[in-house]
Amino acid sequence: MTSDRELVIGLVSVSDRASGGVYEDKGIPALSDWLAQAITTPFRLETRLIPDERAEIERTLADLVDTARCHLVLTTGGTGPARRDVTPEATLAVGTREMPGFGEQMRQISLRFVPTAILSRQTAVIRETQDHAALIMNLPGQPKSIKETLEGLKDDAGNVVVGGIFAAVPYCIDLIGGPYMETNPLVSKTFRPKSALRPPAASRKTE
């Protein structure tokens, strides 16, 4: 697989009412704001606001990976047990490989706050084509929960209590052939094995 130089991230908010104009979508703005603080590598966003329709979700996810060439796609909304919550099914349908660890960790974080976190069906997959691949992850619908899930939880002294899922995302993107992503360690400290580390971007530019 080839690596596209520009890091492209897709954001998908799944909501009947927000997509219908009943109320303002909060998922995409929350994700955009957090990513701007967390990622230090230049990146471009592709955003979509769509209803809770499985076929529409599948088309959107596939288009973001296959046509828009996103390396990472984050969805928000539609992951509960209600009949209209079909984001996980659509995600699994377009994926070529499941990444269950992300969903497991998301529920561990949410369980720190509410017992109903076990009702969440968030998941993650890799979608591969002949020359491109992307990580697709389902996130919660509430801005506060989105931040906690991505960033993790810290105590008053700043020590990590529960690790956020985004710490593992850049290395996952490496492994599937995407661009090298760097993050702000004060927001989300990326973990990579020593063999996968590169000098910081600032030092590479001066070489």
| Radius of gyration of the CA atoms of the chain, in A | 17
pLDDT at 1 over 70: no
Q: How much is the mean pLDDT over the chain?
A: 92
Q: Please give the average per-residue pLDDT across 84-108, as a whole number.
A: 97
Confidence band, pLDDT 50/70/90 cuts, at residue 4: low
pLDDT at 207 over 80: no
pLDDT at 199 over 90: no
CA trace torsion 71, 72, 78, 83 (10° rounding)? 40
The region of weakest confidence among 56-60, 70-74, 141-145 is 141-145
Residues 6+ apart with CB under 8 A from 130: none
Q: What is the tens place of the pLDDT at every residue in 138-191?
A: 999 899 999 999 999 888 887 778 889 999 999 999 999 999 999 999 999 999
**What distance in Å separates the CA atoms of residue 182 and residue 86, rounded to the nearest whole number?**
32
pLDDT at 205 over 60: no
**What distance in Å separates the CA atoms of residue 60 and residue 45, rounded to the nearest whole number?**
14
Higher-confidence residue of 161 and 92: namely: 92
H-run or E-run covering 126 = strand 124-128
140 three-class SS? coil
Q: Please give the average per-residue pLDDT across 103-118, as a whole number.
A: 93
pLDDT at 117 over 70: yes
Confidence band, pLDDT 50/70/90 cuts, at residue 203: low
Confidence band, pLDDT 50/70/90 cuts, at residue 63: very high
**What distance in Å separates the CA atoms of residue 12 and residue 88, rounded to the nearest whole number?**
13
Residues 6+ apart with CB under 8 A from 55: none
Confidence band, pLDDT 50/70/90 cuts, at residue 202: low
Question: Tokens at residue 96, please?
Answer: 């070529």
Residues 6+ apart with CB under 8 A from 107: 117, 118, 120, 122
**What distance in Å separates the CA atoms of residue 3 and residue 42, rounded to the nearest whole number?**
15
Structural domains in the chain, sorted by start: 7-206 (3.40.980.10)
The residues with which 7 forms a beta bridge, in sequence order, are 43
